[in-house]
Structure 1
Amino acid sequence: MTTTSLRSTAISIRNGIVRRSPAMQRLIQQGATHKCLPKALYRRLQPIGVATLHAPDGSPFRYECFEEDGFGRMIVWRDMRDWERTTQPLLYSLAKKSRVFVDVGAHTGIYSILGCLANPELRVIACEPNPGLAERIRANAALNGLTERLTVVAAALSDAPGSATLSIPRRRTHAASLRAPLQGETTLEAEVTTGDALLSGMPVDLVKIDVEGLESQVLGGMSEILRTRAPHLIIECLDSAALESARRVVTPAGYRHVYHISAQGIVPVTGRFRDPDLLYTNFLFCARPYSD
């Protein structure tokens, strides 16, 4: 038996044990939440089925985990405590004051759901070109009764419409990308549109962008929205170069205020940003000074 076969067999056995025992899943959740289990252990265990999670204000919502849901392992075992703990409350607060929230690179739709929970009047547009993940967003929206307010757009946003090759990792819940495929990835042709075309006429107040290095292209395709609506932007920038590139694109639209969403909170970025560790990769861009 090959190493790959052995690994697949071990994963199937592991997942089968957890899947057949809801009580086991509850024990893992309790052990992880109270720090009785090491992260190296529980992050290797796969939750299966529907879990109840909680928004920053304690509001419950439901999330369906499935095979090889690596993101589910990150958010379920410690009820959202291991994932973007500083970004969650910021987006939740901004969503309360927004009319339309656009979630670009929405993955399985967690931020889309949080936005809906924060504001019962909010309309959410979730853009996710990976068809498997787009279906997960629809499923999670239905689980939470949000289908009427959460629209899933199975397309990528960029600076020009058309089509592009989408690379999908072997583990299907890992982020897909429009870059050249790596070994073991599959590809498909994805629809590409621009934010200005998709969102024309909508009162967009909040945009979250997580597109694995293609932030500038997404921003370049929504220049009219940025200029006329000036929405708050929460953007993942994986390094200082990506941050500076995003700043160059949005500055002509009047965005003069940039904040690092750090472990210490919302910290203004002055001058050239340098963070050698960059464990917190989300930044807030505003046309006016931010105040909570």
Structure 2
Amino acid sequence: MTPLRYVELEAGFGCYVPQSTSGDTAEIGFIHDEIFHGNCYLQGGITLGGDAVVVDAGANVGLFSLYVKTRYPKARVLAIEPMPATYAALEANLGRHGCLGVTPLRAALGARAEGEVAFTYFEDLPGNSTRYPDLKAEVSRLPGTAAEREYRERLFATASEVRMPVEPLSAVLARTGFTGPIDLLKIDVEGAEADVLAGIAETDWPRIRQVVLETQHDGPRIRALLAARGFSVTAARPEGVLAGLDIETVWGRR
């Protein structure tokens, strides 16, 4: 098992991340800033009550789950993460911060049940690990200096294969006891967002009150799907260098 490293992110707050050969921690700093300072998921009219039920699909090391619990201590969260090393960090972070009411689950989500499926794990960029590594190849074409391009390519070069079964979200909800209303479904699964939505059974869609997801290239299709399901949909694209990757954050509200 990959050892963990503790990273101080701001005064009095930090988290565990999978140890890497380079020791680079830029990714977790970026994710922390997006969630805790940029409030990236709870925009677009998304609101939560004190006893909210949240499904965190693509929980990574648990920062969004921690963010929800710090603001809504009575919230109940299902935190789903497939990568073994990242999942170990998720469990360690929930324990360190005393997060009661968060159910961690190591599972990979998709449109339907499948056997052993290949995922690509990036040692230096675990939050970018994906079933669709071709999407990450686009990063090499982003603008920047030669040194910046070399740095990005080096981080993505630390790739290895992880194989595990895939399950539809509805099957996971049923076996974990999340059977009531879902106040927020957050999906950030590095290219498989449309797959996760396809894995929601017809009987489960009415339970979902709000959705937020980050997607690459699938924005128009996902916005149309959510609108057809009765959601009011808004979306935004990142600024700066990431604008060249056709990424959208999409928010949907009943």
Judge same fold: TM > 0.5, yes or no: yes
Distance 1:210 1:254 in 2: 21
1:52-81, CA deviations, whole angstroms, 9 ceiling, x for partnerless residues?
Answer: 648xxxxx75423554333234357xxx37
Cross-structure match for 2:172: 198
Offset, 1:84: 6.9
Cross-structure match for 1:259: 234
Q: What is the aligned counterpart of 2:107 among 143, 152, 155?
A: 155
Change (3 A) 1:72 1:286: same
Q: What stretches of structure 1 of length at least 5 have no aligned partner?
A: 1-47, 55-59, 265-274, 288-292
1:71-113, CA deviations, whole angstroms, 9 ceiling, x for partnerless residues?
Answer: 234357xxx3797714155399734355311111111111011
What SS class does the counterpart of residue 126 from structure 1 fall into?
strand
Tell me whether 1:216 sits opposite 2:194 in the alignment: yes
Tell me whether 1:284 sits opposite 2:251 in the alignment: yes
Q: Which amino acid aligns with 1:227?
A: W
Q: How does 1:37-56 map to 2 (within 5 A)?
A: 49-51=6-8, 53=10
Q: What stretches of structure 2 of length at least 5 have no aligned partner?
A: 138-156
Q: What is the aligned counterpart of 2:219 among 201, 218, 243?
A: 243
1:16-70, CA deviations, whole angstroms, 9 ceiling, x for partnerless residues?
Answer: xxxxxxxxxxxxxxxxxxxxxxxxxxxxxxxx6352648xxxxx75423554333
Distance 1:155 1:195 in 2: 10
Offset, 1:278: 7.5
What SS class does the counterpart of residue 71 from structure 1 fall into?
helix
Q: Which amino acid aligns with 1:157?
A: L
Q: Given that residues 86 and 262 in structure 1 are in contact (C-alpha distance below 8 angstroms), is that contact kept between their aligned partners in structure 2?
A: no
Q: What is the aligned counterpart of 2:40 among 77, 87, 90?
A: 87
Q: Given that residues 107 and 134 in structure 1 are in contact (C-alpha distance below 8 angstroms), is that contact kept between their aligned partners in structure 2?
A: yes
Change (3 A) 1:219 1:262: same
Per mean C-alpha deviation after superposition, the further-off stretch among 177-186 and 134-143 is 177-186
Looking at CA atoms only, which structure, 1 or 2, has the larger radius of gyration? 1
Structure 1 length-normalised TM: 0.63
Change (3 A) 1:196 1:98: farther
Offset, 1:262: 6.5
Superposition RMSD in Å: 3.4
Change (3 A) 1:231 1:223: farther
Change (3 A) 1:199 1:75: closer
What SS class does the counterpart of residue 142 from structure 1 fall into?
helix
Change (3 A) 1:49 1:151: same
Distance 1:81 1:236 in 2: 12
Q: What is the aligned counterpart of 2:87 among 134, 146, 149?
A: 134
Q: Given that residues 261 and 283 in structure 1 are in contact (C-alpha distance below 8 angstroms), is that contact kept between their aligned partners in structure 2?
A: yes
What SS class does the counterpart of residue 128 from structure 2 fall into?
coil
Cross-structure match for 1:72: 28
Distance 1:226 1:155 in 2: 19
Distance 1:285 1:92 in 2: 8
Per mean C-alpha deviation after superposition, the further-off stretch among 93-102 and 109-118 is 93-102
* Count of aligned positions: 218
Q: What is the aligned counterpart of 2:72 among 81, 101, 119?
A: 119
Per mean C-alpha deviation after superposition, the further-off stretch among 88-97 and 99-108 is 88-97
Q: Given that residues 100 and 204 in structure 1 are in contact (C-alpha distance below 8 angstroms), is that contact kept between their aligned partners in structure 2?
A: yes
1:112-155, CA deviations, whole angstroms, 9 ceiling, x for partnerless residues?
Answer: 11111121211111111111111111111111101x31111111
Percent of aligned pairs sharing the same letter: 22
What SS class does the counterpart of residue 131 from structure 2 fall into?
coil
Distance 1:254 1:51 in 2: 42
Change (3 A) 1:116 1:261: farther
Distance 2:245 2:159 in 1: 27
Change (3 A) 1:155 1:87: same
Q: Which amino acid aligns with 2:109?
A: L
Q: Which amino acid aligns with 1:102?
A: V
